[in-house]
Structure 1
Amino acid sequence: MIPVARPWLGEEEAAAAREAILSGWVTQGPRVVAFEGAFAERCGATHACAVSSCTTALHMALLAVGVRPGDVVVTVSHSFIATANAVRHCGAEPAFVDVEPETFNMSPEALERFLEEDCALRDGVLRHDFATRGGLPSESPLWACGGGRAGRVAAVLPVHQLGMPCDMTRILAIAGRFGLPVVEDAAGAAGSALSVDGGASFAPVGRPHGAAACFSFHPRKILTTGDGGMLTTADAALDAAFRLYRQHGMSVSDAVRHSARRVTIESYVTTGYNYRMTDIQAAVGVVQLGRLDDMIEGRRRLRALYEQALSGVGWLRLPCEPRHARWNVMSYPVRLMPDAPVGRDEFMQRLLDRGVASRPGVMNAHAEPPYRTGLRLPHSEDARERVVLLPMFNGMSEADVETVAREVRGVG
């Protein structure tokens, strides 16, 4: 069986984890500091803060930019449900806009249309009434906030889907017109780069271009620590807030307290969370980060092999890289065209019967019970029904690619 994904971990990562375990310091500590410094340098970011997952990173980032109970965050439904859940964790409600059919990323046109046509200034505050777009889900925290079906629009949350960078030039310009902070869900985008000057130059995702960028180190991502996340920002005040939130609002970190020459008693200055990364995870992360360029180069080579092997399959659309993006090829999504010989599920089953695993494309939160209303997002829904992720992982051989391509061609 050729799996759809597999983490690329080896003896060096195992040795780093072993060293951390035997050091006696396994919680958040010196290896977390080292990983943060290395990640910030790799991204060109001023600050990096390691946490337990990308979901916790998103939660903290939204809190830090001012999202509060009763607010609205504009984002996409076409993402893993953690994106929407992180908004709910703030006591706010996601307002979903559609995606671009080619990249599966937030459509700048849809964002602009939503802010201009579906929101209104009331007493100087931009507000959205969910009654205008399918209603408010029964689980929404807005029902308990006294504002009925309307809330203050507090932030924009685009997703660099499957590692493909969004068109941040246009998204930032639109959000800026309305005075909205932008938090980037960069869960799978470690190593990707984007341009905000029309392709003349590129900067790593995570510099960041918005207020903060949030990464995942889940095993499905290129860079993994087993699980974990990272926030990057250029704003020292935001970074300070992240560090308070991740450790119970504690004023003094464990490392500072344990290295102090005088008795140091911490205080708890805000409501915080247990969102810390362990030193065991960070030790693995440092090794993985050192291999990131090689991993991306390998994935780009596999992508080129796929394009060569599948370019003649007329009923299959292969992924494209827009001018503003340099993609890390986290996954390999293909779209079944209307004239495909079978539907998505039958396509996947036939591959599975022949020893090739695959996965449906990205989910839609607005189709799941906690967020379901009458809202229609045609491009998101079409992508969910037609996109399939083919195997893509470091260590995949040229023969594996040819096997997958042969079985795909055989479906037709």
Structure 2
Amino acid sequence: MAANSKRNVPIALPSMGEEEWLALREPIESGWLTQGAKVSAFEAAFAERHQVAHALATTSCTTALHLGMAALGVGPGDEVIVPAFTWVSTANAVLYCGAKPVLCDVDPVTFNIDPARLGALVTDRTKLVVVVHLFGLCADMDGIRAALPDRVRILEDAACAAGASYKGRPAGGLGTAACFSFHPRKSITCGEGGMLTTNDPELAARAEVMRNHGASISEEQRHQGPQPYLLPAFDELGFNYRMTDLQAAVANVQLGKLDGFVAEREQGARRYRQALGDIDWLRQPESPNDGQHAWQAYVTVVDPARAPKPRNEIMAELHERGVATRPGTHAVHMLGYYRQRFGFDVDDFPGARDCERNTMAIPLHNRMSDADFDHVVDAIRSVA
């Protein structure tokens, strides 16, 4: 430990280089910085990689979620089922549409929505279920679909799942639509940004209009067309959720590295599992037998009955040893706004409650060295 005492391993770190830097040159020199040819190229490449017909780039996964729900017609009086253990954006997007989020508890082993609990939550007002592929592990799509009537659509929150797959099918085409994130903690990034994917041409067309203020024609069509006096018609209430060509230029380079990034993370996950698997108080994350985990994060569970000290004390000790950790994410029903607005009790969703209290993400990213992995393992083993 003495040799590694000054090493600091961050929880996540984007992997970028000269290719991303050089990719910015063309849009900067051309002067076309907003949504344009670079965004179109990124959308086409992303759709091809994830085997979907349509991909629409947005400013974030949060805006992709809002856009997808709005394009699907979610509105006041509707109910949308979301997991109780997820980043707050999943539930917030429902509120943006004026609908009611209905929380469903999660499977504490996979961290994903529990199909066994879904059926009892469906009412005549249920419009949609948002299925989160948390930390890059695809949810049980067969079990979820079987629990729902055909009229209820599925929106994948695939924020963590670029490059993930379920039974040989990539995330992004497993439901009616899906939303991805390009935040710096994700496998590929352009600082911020998101993507809405779908195989439904009518949904894609409506989302395309709503993404650009509700305009009937794009900025490219307006500026490069033969009728400079032409203004678009605005027959839909829309938003400004357009990605810039600067972001897309970087994102397209990152997309070309996605499969390599996922393979590296898979190798790192196996390394952790082998090195930490014998610690009885630290449960390792699930890995699918019939799909690809994207490993956006490596999220362990500290068993409070067996651990040598409480999780928070373990995390504080690891911090002192130069190992960054985080709780997996939060339980939505335990957040102040949701408790105040909906009257949730901490114990209403015990699976989500325990996941918030006991999960511990440890460093896993594409800039980790062998020495970094060894340092993390040594630090965790020293806690006992």
Q: Into which bin does the TM-score normalised by the smaller protein fall?
A: over 0.9
Are 1:341 and 2:313 matched, yes or no? no
Find the counterpart in structure 2 of residue 101 from structure 1.
108
Deviation at 1:179, TM superposition (A): 1.6
Aligned match of 1:304 in 254, 262, 270? 270
Find the counterpart in structure 1 of residue 159 from structure 2.
187
Find the counterpart in structure 2 of residue 357 from structure 1.
324
Aligned match of 1:405 in 365, 368, 377? 377
| 2: CA distance, partners of 1:408 / 1:87 | 39
Are 1:257 and 2:229 matched, yes or no? no
Aligned match of 2:208 in 238, 243, 258? 243
| 2: CA distance, partners of 1:169 / 1:340 | 35
Aligned residue-pair number? 370
Find the counterpart in structure 2 of residue 90 from structure 1.
97
Contact between 2:50 and 2:171, CA under 8 Å: does it hold in 1? Answer: yes
Partner secondary structure for residue 339 of structure 1? coil
Partner secondary structure for residue 388 of structure 1? strand
Deviations 1:105-162 (A, max 9, x none): 00000112323xxx4xxxxxx1xxxxxxxxxxxxxxxxxxxxxxxxx22111110001
Identity fraction in percent: 44
Aligned match of 2:133 in 135, 160, 182? 160
Partner secondary structure for residue 227 of structure 2? coil
Divergent runs of 4+, >6 A:
none
| 2: CA distance, partners of 1:265 / 1:359 | 49
Deviation at 1:324, TM superposition (A): 4.3
Contact between 2:334 and 2:344, CA under 8 Å: does it hold in 1? Answer: no
| 1: CA distance, partners of 2:32 / 2:106 | 44
Aligned match of 2:37 in 30, 38, 41? 30
Find the counterpart in structure 2 of residue 70 from structure 1.
77
Deviations 1:9-65 (A, max 9, x none): 111101112322122000000000000000000001000000101011101111122
| 1: CA distance, partners of 2:310 / 2:211 | 44
Q: How does 1:12-411 map to 2 (within 5 A)?
A: 12-115=19-122, 119=123, 126=124, 152-175=125-148, 177=149, 179-195=151-167, 202-206=168-172, 208-263=173-228, 264-337=230-303, 338-372=305-339, 373-375=343-345, 376-411=348-383
What is the one-letter code of the residue matched to 1:237?
A: E
Deviations 1:218-258 (A, max 9, x none): 00100101100001100011101111111100011011112
| 2: CA distance, partners of 1:189 / 1:292 | 11
What is the one-letter code of the residue matched to 1:170?
A: G
Find the counterpart in structure 1 of residue 5 from structure 2.
none
Q: Structure 2: where are the runs of 5+ without partners?
A: 1-7
Partner secondary structure for residue 261 of structure 1? coil
Contact between 2:131 and 2:139, CA under 8 Å: does it hold in 1? Answer: yes
Partner secondary structure for residue 179 of structure 1? coil
Bigger shift: residues 272-281 or 392-401? 392-401
Q: TM-score, normalised by structure 1?
A: 0.88
Contact between 1:335 and 1:388, CA under 8 Å: does it hold in 2? Answer: yes
